């Protein structure tokens, strides 16, 4: 079976993954743990969108996220499981829609990724870590609110990513429509 990607695509996926990881470490130091995903989603949405737009094929999100999940396995099997479940859900939704060539599918994938990341992440943190995360389990409306906020923030990142790609395709032309 032939891979739909070339060596340069694997390198690009690795750069997008690195961008996501570097930005989450910076933002993670600035906000409380349960708001980290919402605060990071706009930046993560940009990198996720760029990766999907460049790689285009089904499995593009998995190509960016699953290597990270495997690298984190020795550090935290819980984070690995959370990343795998989020990625599989995102890929499953887009599988039935085609691929990542259309901006609508990339938007759908971005929103599904961040909403499912919020729900899966907060529920698993509540069950495994307890404390303030366990308190969230008794208030599902807060989990729902954080999931909606993460999805909206991710969609904003998707929009920024689309705008930036348009600007890069047409150097010298300014687009005032954001």
How far is residue 103's CA from residue 53's CA, in Å, rounded to a whole number?
A: 8
Mean residue pLDDT across the chain: 89
The encoded tokens of residue 101 equal 């060539």
**pLDDT at residue 2 is higher than 80:** no
pLDDT value for 94 = 93
Smallest CA-to-CA distance from 17 within 82, 53, 61 is with: 61
Choose the weakest-confidence range: 21-30, 42-51, 105-114, 166-175.
166-175
How far is residue 162's CA from residue 170's CA, in Å, rounded to a whole number?
A: 13
* Mean pLDDT confidence for 122-143: 85
SS3 23: helix
Beta carbons within 8 Å of 172's beta carbon, 6+ residues apart:
none
How far is residue 149's CA from residue 130's CA, in Å, rounded to a whole number?
A: 22
Smallest CA-to-CA distance from 61 within 6, 97, 106, 122 is with: 106
* pLDDT band per the 50, 70, 90 thresholds, residue 121: confident
* Mean pLDDT confidence for 30-44: 91
**pLDDT at residue 175 is higher than 70:** no
Q: Is the dihedral of CA 66, 97, 54, 153 positive or negative?
A: negative
pLDDT value for 34 = 76
How far is residue 64's CA from residue 12's CA, in Å, rounded to a whole number?
A: 9
| HSE-CB for 106 with a 13 A CA cutoff | 25
pLDDT, one tens digit per residue, over 56-77 is 999 999 999 999 899 888 988 8
């Amino acid at each position: 079976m032939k891979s739909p990607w070339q060596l340069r695509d694997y390198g690009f996926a690795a750069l997008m993954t690195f961008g996501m990881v570097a930005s989450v470490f910076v933002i993670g130091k600035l906000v409380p743990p349960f708001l980290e995903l919402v605060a990071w989603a706009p930046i993560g949405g940009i990198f996720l969108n760029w990766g999907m737009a460049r790689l285009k094929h089904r499995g593009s999100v998995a190509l960016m996220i699953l290597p990270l999940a495997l690298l984190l396995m020795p550090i935290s099997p819980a984070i690995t499981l959370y990343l795998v479940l989020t990625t599989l859900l995102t890929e499953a939704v887009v599988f039935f829609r085609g691929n990542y060539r259309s901006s609508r599918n990339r938007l759908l994938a971005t929103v599904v990724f961040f909403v499912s990341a919020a729900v899966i992440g907060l529920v698993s943190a509540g069950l495994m870590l307890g404390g303030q995360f366990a308190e969230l389990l008794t208030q599902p409306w807060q989990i729902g609110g954080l999931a909606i906020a993460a999805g909206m923030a991710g969609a904003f990142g998707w929009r920024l990513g689309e705008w930036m790609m348009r600007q890069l395709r047409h150097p010298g032309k300014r687009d005032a429509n954001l």
